[in-house]
């Protein structure tokens, strides 16, 4: 099993004829993902990336190809409308790679996704990969290894660093997801922890956080109250000064809240195993679940 995407995912790429859609679309196809359709308004009737049909609307793409998930590579000022179109067309998984979507627009998308029961991932996220089964987004496929450890992260770059440490230690991953670093995102750590807890093929989870907000604290309390599987946590930004944005728009300490130290302390209180460096994660995982089951 896997969460979010697997070998049965039939993927639609919104913005498929743009530079990013073309490059990453080909990478996803090369990995084995079933890319069955693309949408670029005004370019319907064409084909691209081999024989992938392009449609003018998501509704047409769903009707003609039976796609069941969408990934969005649309410029920021159009991306919210693209996500709403995907939700209205009945897609149950919508992954937004685009960064910098206006906050008020994303609030509309967020509430509509929740109302419709859609798994909305992102924006400003690297996507999802279930190693050996399906890759959606911009994650480099070659660093991943099929296995039984789930990974959830706010940072794309830190995801790759942690995954590479796991793979080098012969610890495979069931699914790796990026929740996104913008102020308004769809699915949170808690949403994905719930999915991993239910996944029979995930034995442990790694949570990769950063400064800003309270998502990591919420995740820790969920682990304490609802998780039977061990969880390892890493928080970037121990030396970050208050009031200064560090990378992502959401990575800012405001009003004394959202510090790395605060998050690490809550991890400890709630039974999440904290580490100071990504390189410490494989050893911690092996101690918790055993080298053979990883």
Q: Are 14 and 123 in contact (CB under 8 A)?
A: no
| β-strand partners of 152 | 177, 207
Question: How far is 234 from 276, CA to CA, in rounded Å?
Answer: 7
Two tokens, residue 265: 């302390």
Distances from the Cα of 269 to the Cαs of 221, 242, 264, in angstroms?
9, 24, 9
Q: Are 95 and 125 in contact (CB under 8 A)?
A: yes
Helix (H) or strand (E) holding 194: helix 189-198
Set 24, 142, 226, 248: catalytic member: 248
How crowded is residue 111: how many other Cβ atoms within 10 Å of its Cβ?
A: 10
Query: Does the annotation mark 226 as catalytic?
Result: no
Question: How far is 66 from 61, CA to CA, in rounded Å?
Answer: 7
Peptide bond into 123 cis (omega under 30): yes
Question: How far is 144 from 146, CA to CA, in rounded Å?
Answer: 7
Nearest-5° Cα angle at 180, 175 to 183: 155
Strand 146-153 with 173-178, pairing: parallel
| Residues with a known catalytic role | 248
């Amino acid at each position: 099993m896997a969460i979010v995407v697997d070998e049965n995912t039939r993927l639609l790429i919104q913005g498929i004829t743009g530079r990013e859609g073309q490059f990453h679309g080909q990478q996803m196809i090369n990995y084995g993902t079933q890319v069955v359709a693309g949408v670029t308004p005004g370019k319907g009737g064409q084909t691209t990336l081999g024989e992938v049909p392009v449609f003018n609307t998501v509704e047409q793409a769903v009707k003609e190809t039976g796609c069941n998930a969408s990934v969005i590579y649309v410029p920021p000022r159009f991306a919210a409308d693209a996500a709403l179109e995907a939700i209205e067309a009945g897609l149950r998984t919508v992954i937004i790679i685009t960064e910098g979507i206006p906050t008020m627009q994303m609030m509309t998308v967020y509430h509509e996704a929740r109302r419709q029961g859609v798994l909305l991932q992102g924006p400003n996220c690297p996507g999802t990969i279930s190693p050996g089964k399906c890759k959606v987004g911009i994650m480099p496929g070659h660093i991943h290894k099929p296995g039984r450890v789930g990974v959830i992260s706010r940072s794309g770059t830190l995801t790759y660093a942690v995954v590479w440490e796991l793979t080098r230690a012969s610890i495979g991953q069931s699914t790796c997801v990026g929740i996104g670093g913008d102020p308004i995102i769809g699915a949170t750590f808690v949403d994905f922890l719930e999915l991993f807890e239910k996944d029979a093929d995930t034995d442990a989870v790694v949570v990769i956080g950063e400064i800003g907000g309270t998502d990591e604290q919420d995740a820790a309390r969920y682990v304490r109250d609802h998780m039977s599987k061990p969880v390892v946590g890493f928080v970037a930004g121990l030396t970050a000064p208050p009031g200064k944005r560090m990378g992502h728009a959401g990575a800012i300490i405001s009003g004394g809240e959202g510090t790395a130290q605060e998050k690490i302390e809550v991890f400890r209180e709630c039974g999440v195993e904290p580490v100071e460096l990504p390189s410490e994660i494989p050893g911690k995982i092996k101690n918790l679940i055993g080298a053979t089951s990883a």
